[in-house]
Amino acid sequence: MLFRKDTSPQAADGTVTGGPPEAEAGATLTVDCAAIARNWKKLSDYAAPAECAAVVKADAYGCGIEPVVTALAAAGCETFFVAHLAEARAVRDTLSGATIFVTNGLASGTAPVFAEINAQPVIGNLAELAEWDAFRATHKWTGGAALHFDTGMNRLGLSPNEAAALSPRCDMQNHGIALVMSHLACSDEPDHPLNDQQIQTLREMRQLFRNIPFSMANSSGIFLGAPAHFDMVRPGIALYGGNPLPGQDNPMEPVVTFTARIVQTRMVPEGATVGYNATWTARRPTRVAIAAAGYADGYPRPVGTSDTIAGGQALVNGQRCPVIGRVSMDLLAIDITDVPDQSPGKRRGDVVTLIGDDIGIDEFAAWGRTISYDVLTRLGRRCHRVWKN
């Protein structure tokens, strides 16, 4: 879902809302665009003098492509990477002067659209390159493209063996090569030998494509140091608060807060079960809060605690409480027995925090047996949404 604003005026502090009104939604997703901008600035300073671009595919990792690219541009970001042409159009509709690369390449017949919105395909095979060259020649289009070489991911990209045959293009007037790039496969494992192999393979290509900018590092790749930076780095998940250094303290600011409204509280007697398939059994008389969020809102189904598997938690008045039983499509259950009786979060209409404050996106993703990328891109499809600037 791309960014949708409601018709209410922007608040004096720059806050914008979207999606259904808060009263009509069970959950709220809040995105701190100022934190995204600060994360970008931190990465940019770390990678300098390389240019720091921004990856804003998948609706800016679920955070809203329009407000995110607006905040990043205000912070100084000039180059944006998306996966699909529709995402490139969304960026162009927001920023008239941005440089936009489309990493999934040139879909057949779409070259005129690239020209229309002045976006640049990331060419990953010779068939794409031939179609792009034919379009440029026929229409006298001078816009550029990136060449993507596969140095070890074995996903997209030209073979390094094809580099020598393509390098003479650099001697042609209007050669159209705006960038040469590759993608690290194991950058979140700093000691993995494939990192050095990939970096070295791309470095050797610099002799073939002189005076062309090179790019390799993603979020974790930035922290591999200067050899991985080349001329441009392309952070994604780190912009949105994900930890680019697994196993170490997260150097990035948190970005998203996910909250849900309590629709009912109830007492569950000892020995009774909660939720589908009776996977959780009360070992004491238990006060349970039912929150209006579920897997239809992007809350991972495996988060709930069962009788045999420890699950995740929610924050009720700042106190961690177990999420219990199976997470269902629209609802989840929270054990609030140990929360003092007069605390917020124990009554209908109160709000509990599912992500945010003391619960980081990576910890939350681990409870769901997935990764922060997966969580972020699924959150908030039917939530009330708030963008803070």
Q: What positions carry a catalytic annotation?
A: 57, 276
Q: How many CB atoms lie within 10 A of CB 146?
A: 22
Sign for the CA dihedral angle at 336, 342, 348, 351 comes to negative
Sign for the CA dihedral angle at 236, 242, 247, 251 comes to positive
The C-alpha angle 371, 373, 375, rounded to 5 degrees, equals 75
- Cα(3)–Cα(5) distance, integer angstroms: 7
Whether the link from the prior residue into 49 is cis, omega within 30° of 0, is yes
Regarding beta strands 99-102 and 120-123, do their DSSP bridges make them parallel or antiparallel, or are they unpaired? parallel
Residue with tokens 């699909």: 84
Sign for the CA dihedral angle at 157, 163, 166, 170 comes to positive
The C-alpha angle 330, 377, 80, rounded to 5 degrees, equals 155
φ, ψ at 36 (rounded to 5°): -60, -45
CB 62 within 8 Å of CB 88? no
- Cα(244)–Cα(311) distance, integer angstroms: 24
- Cα(337)–Cα(269) distance, integer angstroms: 12
Q: Up-side HSE of residue 248: CA atoms within 13 Å toward CB? A: 9
CB 364 within 8 Å of CB 355? yes
